[in-house]
Amino acid sequence: MSKIEIRNLVKRYGQATALNKVSLTIESGEFLVLLGPSGCGKTTLLRCLAGLETPDEGEIVIDDHIVYSSEKKVLVPPGKRNLGMVFQSYALWPHMTVRDNVKFGLDVLHTPKDVSNQRIDQVLADIGLAHLDERYPSELSGGQQQRVALARLLTTKPPVFLMDEPLSNLDARLRMDMRVELKRIQGETGATTVYVTHDQTEAMTMSTRVVVMKDGDIQQVSPPGLVYRQPENVFVAEFIGMPLINLTELEHVDGSLFSNGDITLNLGWQPDVAKIVVGARPEDLKLGPARKDSAEFTVTALLPNGPETIVQMTRGTTVLVARLGHETGLETGQTIHVSFETEALNVYDASTGAMVRRPRTQGLPSLTKSIAPATGRNRNELVGT
């Protein structure tokens, strides 16, 4: 187990800044996932940690040992950082069998033969490759090769795992199995893990914390539930979650009332800005009979998807998307009444995109507290039309 500290890390490629003074503390035993759109700097950060890329400024400390410091002129090579890495390109030896490829990592560490054999058998069985141990890489599928690379990392039991999209070549079923297996092995070994992925489900299901990045900057570092329920800004709100969060711009009318002409919302508290964006997850819309806090919308699309149905609704120029159960009883063109689950709303300053926090003095629950994800059936149940 190892603690990693990244301080003010900068990496430039010519004029482009891939990492812009990134600071982050990764606790011992954490499963930290780096998430963000293509080009945001995830891989660059991982490669800087691994020592495969030399930053331009900043400091990286692993367990109180400085492995990189621009100021102190320290640059520890990758092999001396005591890290295990798996990258998207598996880099297997083509002339070695699966077993020998996996054994290679252990041989480098001079692991005794009996220990080595036992670990190889165990890991190959864990990741479902035991029956292929005498094959050569050219006789394996991309997904199988990816698992061999993973096995090579896992058998060496490094205190830090660095993984860049290690499951990207697996089909959906295998990916799911491997997530469970990786999480189990990581939990058992207690290895501090930094994991890059594009896949939100992977990030949300495997991580202890998610780091959302954009243009070389960190936007939010939070446990996955909090990233979903309380995105710190409009970018994170929009980036996380499918279907997308409903973001509606409203102007201050009076007191705690905000409106865009189509809908008027009583927030119950008054943000100190003239224009806000309210973020409502699709499961935080309430559909049902007319109430004093509801507005009439027209159903414009119904998208059934297994256990749920995504409902798109329109009123004037306001478009909202709700997530309901599989039997909605709704029809396109139908009129419905919509209200917000106001306690679950997030409010952002429309000019900066930053979250506006509800003052504690107004006696309402603080937004810094975690709000449990909406799971109850009644939360978005259609209560009549």
- Residues near ligand ATP, by CB under 6 A: 13, 16, 18, 36, 38-44, 198
Minimum CB–partner distance for residue 8 and ligand ATP (Å): 17
Sheet containing strand 209-214, edge to edge, reads 84-86, 160-164, 192-196, 31-35, 209-214, 217-222
C-alpha count within 13 angstroms, C-beta hemisphere, residue 76: 16
- In the bound state with ligand ATP, the residue whose beta carbon lies nearer, of 194 and 276, is 194
- In the bound state with ligand ATP, the residue whose beta carbon lies nearer, of 43 and 233, is 43
What's the rounded Cα separation, in Å, for the pair 64 and 61? 6
Minimum CB–partner distance for residue 15 and ligand ATP (Å): 10
Single out the residue of 347, 352, 343 nearest to residue 370, CA to CA.
343
Minimum CB–partner distance for residue 16 and ligand ATP (Å): 5
310, two tokens: 């995504």
